[in-house]
Structure 1
Amino acid sequence: MKKLLTLITLFILVQNATAQKNALRLIADSINAEGETLYRSEWASGHGTQIFTSSFGGKKRLSGGYFSYETKREMTTIFFSKNNDPVVLATVKFDHSFDSSKYSIDTTTRKFTEIEKDLYAIRLKAAQAVSNDTLFKFYQNTSLNLVPVIKNGAKKVYVITAQTTPDEVLLGNDYLINFDKDNDIIKKTKLHNNLIPLGTGGKEAIKASSHQHLGETSPFITATDICAFKLWKAKTTWVISFIVSAGYVSAWHFRNEFLEILTQTEWEKIMKNK
């Protein structure tokens, strides 16, 4: 009887461990997908801005901002006017190859499409919140990028601190603003407690980077972390980056862009056996 109870206990422990691993895999996949969405938007915005600025500098002075969005066919960045009833000044489109040399640009002034109206509306309200709410912090020599996303019916704007120097990656000082179907703000969340500059590695290559998530910060890596890692992957010497919280360790592998999330207990066992 004692042996049977031991076997039952071991079976339950194995089942629980498997369930926890599966749950963490689902969390990792969800965060990874959101990070990919953010990266694609920021990639299109960055290259779209370079193209627009280099080719149509005069028209850029009329621009009140930009945003990007993706369809099944392409990634699009639009630049809109400054006035109270804005119109689209230019449209830059990329295919899904992520080849910045393959693009089209149309500088015909036009009205917003329906999806662009919604993206502009939540971006505008996010900009107003950033200007008026003390939740949002500003650091010297940085700016805040507004990244509107509408996906599977959910409307949100990420607020990300923009990169300023080529020898560091900026993480943190980022926020998520959620909206209802009528484009009204329903929630504002601070994703990291502070700004985290990490060196990219120079003459002395840095193979790993790490930072902590403490307090109210998510116990897992954030979509904004993944976005930054993917954007600046080619500029760093990193092989892996660790995000450590009280209960978990998230590991982002740069070579195959793979995310794994481990419990602290699993992590300690791995380190002990090394």
Structure 2
Amino acid sequence: MNHPTTVAHSPIKGKVILLFIWLLSGYNTFSQDKDLQKSRAIILEEALQLYKLEKASWHSTDILLHDNASLLNQITGYLSYSKGDTTNTIFWNKAGQILLTIGYDSIANEHNGIVNASARAATSKENDLMALRNVAFEKLRKNEGNFFTFYERTSPNFIPIITPNERIVFILTGSNEKQLCIGNDYKLWFNEKNEIIKKAQLHKSLIPIGADNNSVGTYHSHVLADQPFMTSTDICTFLLYKDILHMSKHTVISDKYTSIFNADNLTFIIVPRSDK
């Protein structure tokens, strides 16, 4: 005769289950925190690289206008790129010949650029960067499908980057006036043939912030689902204008996260929103 099997409640077994649940919860929290720290580090590193390149372009165009204006009618494009600890800005003509090279051994300013106005052939890397920039420019100019948005009194700035892992071009919107423009920025990915394989809109719109702003910081919201954190372009643009607008902090709020950047000490944090 078979008797029904009964299972007695085991306090020890219950504690083991609770301990497992607690450990799993702790692991998930740790994993999420680790992922946030990884995202934070990637964004900040990319932002500082963008800032370094765009700062070099800013000062190099000033040097061109002030000291080498005779080249203006020949130049058809420019870009900045890193080479070891040096940042170079190059200006080229229609034939792809480099007419002006300006090198910086640190964050560019109006005093530390080394100018070489001797015409020369482009290097292999420079040719690739120029090709990326030209393809991105044509993509923007044709604007098939109205992917790009244009605003009055602004102009696009192209930042091509080649790493061992990817070829990309960032397009930032720069103001022709004394104001910070957050948003209306894009990222394009390329294959080894310098053909566009992917594109992304990093913000939904453009947010202009004038020099008459009296606060110590600024903030904006991210509504795009695939941009939950402050972007590298946000940080780059804020760094470029922080001294002009006398501000040090920028905050981005999305559905699930708050991102805070302090330009004075280059600290950047991402925290989950407590109300989510």
Measure the CA separation in 1 of the matches of 2:109 and 2:171: 26
Instruction: Determine the structure 1 residue equivalent to 2:186.
Output: 175
Is the counterpart of residue 131 in structure 1 residue 141 in structure 2?
yes
Tell me the distance in 2 between the aligned counterparts of 1:213 and 1:23.
19
Letter in 1 for 2:217: A
Alignment partner of 2:199 out of 162, 167, 188: 188
Please say if 1:47 is aligned against 2:59. yes
Instruction: Return the alpha-carbon distance in structure 2 between the equivalents of residues 161 and 55 of structure 1.
Output: 26
Give structure 1 regions of 4+ aligned residues with deviation exceeding 6 angstroms.
none
Offset, 1:77: 0.4
- Which ranges in structure 1 are unaligned for 5 or more consecutive residues? 270-274
Residue 60, structure 1, aligned to residue 72, structure 2: yes
Are 2:181 and 2:208, in contact at CA under 8 Å, matched by a contact in 1?
A: yes
The range that moved more, 14-23 or 175-184, is: 14-23
Amino acid in structure 2 at the alignment position of 1:215 = L
Residues 1:69 and 2:81 aligned together: yes
Report which stretch shifted further, 246-255 or 184-193.
246-255
SS class of match (2:127):
helix
Which runs of 5 or more structure 2 residues have no equivalent in the other structure?
Answer: 1-10
Amino acid across the alignment from 2:54: E
Equivalence for 1:259: 268
User: What one-letter code is carried by the residue in structure 2 that aligns with 1:172?
Assistant: G
With normalisation by structure 1, the TM-score equals 0.90
1:107 correspondence with 2:117: yes
How far did residue 9 of structure 1 move? 2.7
Cα distance in 2 for residues equivalent to 1:77 and 1:255: 26
Please tell me whether residue 231 in structure 1 is matched to residue 231 in structure 2: no
Identical amino acids, percent of aligned pairs: 29
Does residue 120 (structure 1) correspond to residue 130 (structure 2)? The answer is: yes
One-letter amino acid matched to 1:170: C
Q: What one-letter code is carried by the residue in structure 2 that aligns with 1:159? A: I
CA distance, structure 1, for counterparts of residue 246 and residue 65 of structure 2:
30
Task: State whether residues 201 and 237 of structure 1, in contact with CA within 8 Å, keep that contact through their aligned partners in structure 2.
Answer: no
Shift in Å, 1:4: 4.6
Residue pair 1:68, 1:76 contacting (<8 A) in 2 also: yes
Q: How many Å apart are 1:89 and its aligned residue?
A: 0.9
Cα distance in 2 between the residues matched to 1:17 and 1:68: 41
Q: What SS does the aligned partner of 2:131 have? A: helix
| 2:92–2:99 contact (8 Å) kept in structure 1 | yes
Alignment partners' CA distance in 1, 2:147 and 2:109 = 37
Q: Note if 1:148 corresponds to 2:160.
A: yes
Cα distance in structure 2, aligned partners of 1:46 and 1:254? 19
Q: What is the CA–CA distance in structure 1 between the aligned matches of 2:225 and 2:266, rounded to whole Å? A: 27
Deviation at 1:102, TM superposition (A): 1.6
Counterpart residue number, 1:157? 169
What letter corresponds to residue 127 of structure 1 in structure 2?
F
1:29 aligns to 2:38 (yes or no): no
| Contact in 1 for aligned 2:203/2:224 (Cα 8 Å) | no
How far apart, in 1, do the equivalents of 2:201 and 2:124 lie? 29
Give the TM-score taking structure 2 as reference length: 0.89
Q: Rg bigger for which structure?
A: 2
Structure 1 residues 68-107: aligned runs within 5 Å: 68-81=80-93, 83=94, 85-96=95-106, 98-107=108-117
User: Which of 211, 226, 240 is residue 220 of structure 2 equivalent to?
Assistant: 211
Pick from 31, 49, 56 the counterpart of residue 19 of structure 1: 31
Matched with 1:272 is: none
What is the total number of aligned residue pairs between the two structures?
A: 262
